[in-house]
Structure 1
């Protein structure tokens, strides 16, 4: 193998490692990242106002979208105000929505918010990264009459 061939081979291998390595090392968001994003979202709402913040949260590829982690905001009545993955949910009242196991997860979330300033909730939902229904742990903070939430899958 010539020096030039070895250099090209090593460069190609390094490019492959740099491309694949980081994606597999941190393919999915962590609980710590979910908490941090929700806290950032709450500050963003307070600084920018509801309309600007909700539009930003609902924009795929925006600053509140990271791998399988995104922000949702729901009123305590179950109405979706912002959703980082499903724009078709915005404006809908999902208080009676059930996960695949029959859990009324939006109602449960609203009930949890009535008694807690922040909380974790577990239910099943479609993971946008894998396109499979998986266990989701959702971290939420109550802000006025809303829940600001971000969750992680498969925990």
Structure 2
């Protein structure tokens, strides 16, 4: 009987490990975290208005929109940054022609994807604010009127 209960216990532990959210090896955010933060941002924009929410996204002390290496960005569908959780210097700039290290025009791709679908994942490379290194990133985005609200994870 001890063997059966040991096997059942081991199987239960294995199942729990598989069901737990996977974080990056360095303790970074995961896909579920990104989706939840984007949805929180969209909900707050709808309920409290864009100006108030953009200010909260930009405020690095606001834990609703800053969690480890996860933060929100909001682009207009023309490529203009409305809010940026990691770099306030980008706010107000049109980055439609910005490319990642591989030459991928990720902002242009992002706004084009937003014009075609209400939500999506996008892959590109970007500087991780925690490690300060360029790393592969997956960005979850949702279109909201004439903007796209995004939060990404580093792989």
Partner of 2:34: 34
SS in structure 2 of the partner of residue 149 of structure 1: strand
Gaps of 5+ in 2: 1-23
TM alignment of 1:54-65, pairs within 5 A:
54-62=54-62, 63-65=64-66
Q: Which runs of 4+ in 1 moved over 3 A?
A: none
Q: Cα distance 1:131–1:49, how it changes in 2: closer, same or farther (>3 A)?
A: same
Displacement of 1:61: 2.2
Per-residue CA shift, 1:30-50, capped at 9, x if unaligned?
001000100011000011101
TM-score, with structure 2 as normaliser: 0.82
Displacement of 1:93: 0.1
How many residue pairs match? The answer is: 131
Displacement of 1:25: 7.8
Gaps of 5+ in 1: 1-23
- Indicate the structure (1 or 2) with the bigger Cα radius of gyration: 1
Partner of 1:151: 152
How well do the aligned residues superpose, as a CA RMSD in angstroms? 1.3
TM alignment of 1:48-127, pairs within 5 A:
48-62=48-62, 63-127=64-128
For 1:138 and 1:77, locate their aligned partners in 2 and report how far apart those are by CA, in whole Å. 18
For 2:133 and 2:68, locate their aligned partners in 1 and report how far apart those are by CA, in whole Å. 15
